[in-house]
Structure 1
Amino acid sequence: MKILFFGRGVISTQYAWAFEQAGHTVEFYVRKGRKETFGSRIELEMWDARKGKKLIKESWNVKLHEEILPNYDLIIMSVNTEQLPEAAQFLSTAAGNTPVLIFNNIWQDLKSSIAPLSLNNVVFGFPGAGGGIADNTLRGGFLKMIFLEKPRAGTEPMNNKVKELFESAHFKISWVKDMQNWLWNHFAMNAAMEAEVIKRGSFPALLNHRASFANVGLHMREMIPVLKARGAKHDAISLLLTKIPPGLLGILFNKVIFAKGSLARLFVEYNNSKAGFAVLEVVREAKKAGIPLPRLTTAFENTEYAKEI
């Protein structure tokens, strides 16, 4: 299969490498000027957890394009949430009839989030990977599991294509019946986490404060009325963060989920992305609905986002 990844970010690069290892052709679309900036190689220091836990260290040749040609079997897009509308607008004309996998976190309803792309040409999924890129070196890793929405009416051929691609590279698919609800809950969890990242200064710094994980649960509890206003139902993520006592949740995150040496911890340690947009989106939504979010709003004090609320 010939696959085009939209952007050469940390998620795109890791899955592209895995697909190339499985015999597929992978290429990247990058904005004008980025091809020269990025160069034709990227250094990889990432953990592959599809079969055990294996450290991949290599200098990998990548093929970058500054335009999209109509000869791909699939386009995979995984971008920062705030970049999604612009990227969808671009692909609506540049992608033609090529099916698109949106491998992304999304807060808006799915149809409007990708407009003017057609839902009939899109499959939604979510990666099981993390990390960051600095000085042209990718540090992070990926798990065996990825999340993929169950086929909607008319999307069966696209879903099957995506399913076969990931399974050919030895990934396991967790099928999501209601992708909209799943993403709403997951986005809220990200907002709860980012509120603490803003306070601590970075994602790695978060790991040094057990109290921050207890606060993540309290932030999530505060957001439940916003989720309900959207028509969202509790899923496993929400139940974990809102039903477990905050003190116990802090221990669970610190000692189990983000235990030293775990891949989940490594994903956060190497995450050098800017936090705050997820919090901003949720706070904006709450303000429209007249729902107070004092904990999340306080997180924005003395930040550049304060003026946007």
Structure 2
Amino acid sequence: MRILMLGRGVIATVYGQAFAHAGHDVVHHVRPRRLAEYREPVPMDLIDGRLGPLGRRTHVRYAAQLQSSTEPDDRFDLVVISVGHHQLQEASAALAPHIGDATVVVLGNVWDELDAAVAPIPADQVVFGFPGAGGGFRTDGSLHGAVLRSVTLGRSGSAPNRRGQEARAVFRQAGFTVRDEPDIRGWLFLHVVLDAGMFSQALESGGLAAMIGDRRALGGAFRTSRELLPVLEARGVDLARHRTATVPARFPGATGTALALATVVVPIARASLAAHDDPQAAEPCAVLRDLSRTARALGIATPRLDRAVGMVTRPDRAV
């Protein structure tokens, strides 16, 4: 299968390498000015959850195929978009004229209504999901992070179609398990809320990496997420349907204690936070500001979130 990955960021690189290793023809679309900045091949130091229940450390070198232009004649079968939620509409609009009949997989946070977030890409071509990977690039260009065995996928429409089947097949061929989420809209919105809690606490702690082993900080993160549950309900999310996923927000103290221990003793949990030492990164700041705007528009008080937004120094929408 011929696969186009948008960009060569952490998620695109991790999954691009996995797809290429599984035998697919993978191309990364990057901006022209970025071509000269990337060093190929990129050394990857990952805790790989596909290699055992606690993951196993691996070292690979990935020589990504890079190109700065994409045309319909390229005939990609699958396009993977993984950008900050605040960049999704722009990225979708730019790609729409060039993807032909390819299945599009959106991996990442989404806070707008799903179909609107990817317009003008036809909704029936799109599969939404969230990656089980994270990390960061070092100054030498190497990537350090972790990838879980599982990935969550779903469609904005209830009826299954071949797009979902194609997306699931690609991930499974690369050794991942796929969790199908019937209510992907509600699940993604809930994930943004959980992320907002972590991002808000990171501003106070000095980064996600600084929260490793800190039960008070992690508990505080989920208390902020609990404060945001009424925002989800006001947007029509059925929280009872996602009862398991809301456990961290409903029981922040216990979850913070458990996660603090996990980030110390479980390599894959530690690695998922260790590379994130910049609390003023673009996506975290955009998440906090957009949730704050939504809460204000709905008339819902969010004092913990407001305090975090007040600590953001990054210009609004700057990338």
TM over 0.5: yes
Q: Does 1:240 align with 2:247?
A: yes
Determine the structure 1 residue equivalent to 2:66.
64
The aligned counterpart of 1:55 is 57
Instruction: Quote the Cα distance in structure 1 between the aligned partners of 2:10 and 2:160.
Output: 27
2:87 to 76, 83, 86: 83
In the TM superposition, what are the counterparts of 1:1-309 in structure 2 within 5 Å? 1-52=1-52, 53-70=55-72, 71-135=75-139, 136-149=141-154, 152=157, 156-234=161-239, 235-236=242-243, 239-244=246-251, 246-256=252-262, 258-272=263-277, 274=281, 275-304=284-313
- Number of equivalenced pairs: 306
Letter in 1 for 2:128: F
Stretch deviating more after TM superposition (130-139 or 152-161): 152-161
Check 1:217–1:120 CA distance in 2 against 1; reply closer, same or farther (3 A cut): same
Partner-residue secondary structure (3-state), 1:276: helix
Task: Show CA shifts across 1:54-101 (max 9, x none).
Answer: 322133211100011332111111112221111011011122322211
What amino acid does structure 2 have at the position aligned with 1:254? Answer: A
State whether residues 100 and 122 of structure 1, in contact with CA within 8 Å, keep that contact through their aligned partners in structure 2: yes
Unaligned segments of structure 1, at least 5 residues: none
**C-alpha contact (below 8 Å) 2:126/2:155 kept by paired residues:** no
Tell me the amino acid that sits aligned with residue 154 of structure 2: E
Shift of 1:306: 9.1
After alignment, is 59-68 or 229-238 more displaced? 229-238
Displacement of 1:34 in angstroms is 0.8
CA contact (8 A) 1:20 1:26 kept: yes
Deviates more, 1:299-308 or 1:57-66: 299-308
CA RMSD of aligned residues (A): 2.0
Greater CA drift, 86-95 or 264-273: 264-273
Q: Which moved more, 1:290-299 or 1:202-211?
A: 202-211
Note if contact 2:208-2:276 (Cα within 8 Å) is conserved in structure 1.
yes
* Aligned residue type for 1:101: V
Whether the 8 Å CA contact 1:300–1:306 is kept in 2: the answer is no
Q: What's the secondary structure of 2:37's corresponding residue?
A: helix
TM-score, normalised by the number of residues in structure 2: 0.90
Q: Deviations over 1:155-199 (max 9, x none)?
A: 611111111111111211101001000001111000011110111
Q: Does structure 1 conserve the Cα–Cα contact (< 8 Å) formed by 2:48 and 2:268?
A: no
| 1:94-137 CA distance string (max 9 Å, x none) | 22322211112111110111122210111111111111112211
Q: What's the % identity of the aligned pairs?
A: 29
Tell me how far 1:303 sits from its aligned partner: 2.8
In structure 2, distance between residues paired with 1:294 and 1:305: 20
Structure 2 unpaired stretches of 5+: none
Q: What is the Cα deviation at residue 267 of structure 1?
A: 1.0
Per the normalisation by structure 1, the TM-score is 0.92
CA drift of 1:302 comes to 4.1
Taking structure 1 as reference, are residues 260 and 153 closer, same or farther at Cα in structure 2, changes over 3 Å only? Answer: closer
Q: Distance between the aligned counterparts of 2:110 and 2:230, measured in 1?
A: 18
